[in-house]
Amino acid sequence: MKQDRLAIKGARLVGRLEELAQIGAIDGNGCCRLALTDEDRRGRDLVVSWMKALGLAVTVDRIGNVVGLRAGRTAGAPVVIGSHIDTVRTGGRYDGNLGVLAGLEVVATLNDAGVTTDKPLAVAFFTNEEGARFAPDMMGSAVHQGALALDTALAAVGIDGETVGDCLNRIGYAGPEPVGTMRAAAYVELHIEQGPVLEREGVQIGAVTGVQGISWTELTIKGVSCHAGTTPMAMRHDAGYAAAEIACFVRRLAHEIGGTQVGTVGFLELAPNLVNVVANRARLTVDLRNTDEAVLRRAEERTFAFLDELAAREGVEITRRTLARFAPVDFAPEMIAMVEEEAQGLGLSTKRMPSGAGHDAQMFAPNCPSGMVFVQSHKGLSHNVAEYTAPEHLAAGANVLLKVVRRLAG
Ligand code: GLV
Ligand code: MN
Ligand code: MN
């Protein structure tokens, strides 16, 4: 059958990944395209130009999500292939980008073969998936799927003090399309695993069962600045010390809970940040994740109780602000099975596994059948310039994506 012979062109996919990676390129083969920066804009412009060249009808919505639509034989809700092209500040070239560019590769393959699917197809990239500049993460897909109000997202203030709304206007991606008007018949996302499991076990394809819950809290600690040489230890209200205790607590807590529990203090700023001045202010973030909502909630409760105890003990004031909170998400059983079957049909080995990272797919999951395909990440590295996935794994994942999309779209 003609359908079974269709295969993506790996070199074309790798070529696009490399070209996109030149925008915001940083030392070590990495990328810095923080959401809604000029680098993000240039990356967006390039992907939009590819979408148009492939004949997709491109729309931009008010939160800057970009959708390229390919008509089907019938009208109605499209099968959406999505992900993101923003990166963390020290990101690699695959996280997110693979899912979007593999979507374009699927379209190019269908175009070359003259195949029209029954249902329309859409390739989409969503604004600020990373959350590294503006919280929460998965911002564009959350607004798209009605999990976050547009106004709240537009008002979000980034780590550099700018708002999402202002930045969208500045880079020219505050689109005219109302949010959430496009419903998806199904949603599928190819992504690198970003962890070590597939490579360690020698498995080619991950059939993703769901995404673990995410809790992000920003803490601001107010202490008292004083002289580092003259102030007795017992008289200090040291915001820097309190921040350090929190980082140690979070790590101990994750070890103690075990299982899938992880805990990270990835952002820490001290003021005045000088060698001989006790810090009077600290700002830090706590990232807690677990596949089990009840356990995640207990981890949060224990952290917050520790903060109260610490504040009283050290005589500092600790205020907290929720940056992101997403419950664990299960993908539709038929989507998990479909990824598995289509991969195995291509002779690829598979493993069912949860995702440790957040993904746009989790925002679609409550509203339409949603699923994800994982491919190996070399040494499990991601959010690191050294992120790498070999071309044969990229191609394998894109071929599974093609198969799944064809099955969904008819
Ligand atoms: C998003 O990439 C996250 O999982 O932090
Ligand atoms: Mn990603
Ligand atoms: Mn990421």
Q: What is the pLDDT of residues 365-379, one digit of tens each?
A: 999 999 999 999 999
Give domain limits for the chain: 2-211+329-409, 213-326
Element (H, E) at 373: strand 370-375
Q: Does residue 1 have a pLDDT over 90?
A: no
- Counting residues of the chain whose pLDDT is more than 70, the rounded percentage is 99
Question: Ligand 2: distance of its center to the CA of 50 in Å?
Answer: 20
Question: So what CATH class is 213-326?
Answer: alpha beta
**pLDDT(206) > 70:** yes
- Band of residue 181 on the pLDDT scale cut at 50, 70, 90: confident
Residue 4: its pLDDT value, please?
62
Distance CA 345, CA 204 (A): 13
3-state per-residue secondary structure call for 12-65: HHHHHHHHHHCCCEECCCEECCCCCCHHHHHHHHHHHHHHHHCCCEEEEECCCC
Give, for 85, the enclosing helix (H) or strand (E): none
Question: Fold match between 2-211+329-409 and 213-326?
Answer: no
Length of the chain: 410
pLDDT above 70: residue 67:
yes
Check if 137 has its Cβ closer than 6 Å to any atom of ligand 1: yes
Domain 2-211+329-409 in this protein, CATH class: alpha beta
Q: Is the Cβ atom of 358 under 6 angstroms away from ligand 1?
A: yes
Cα(153)–Cα(53) distance, integer angstroms: 31
Q: How far is the CA of 112 from the centre of ligand 3 (A)?
A: 31
Residue 33: nearest ligand to its CA?
Answer: 3
Q: What type of residue is 395?
A: A
30: left (phi over 0), alpha (psi -120 to 50) or beta: beta
Is 130 touching ligand 1 by the criterion CB < 6 Å? yes
Atom of ligand 1 nearest to the CA of 357: 4
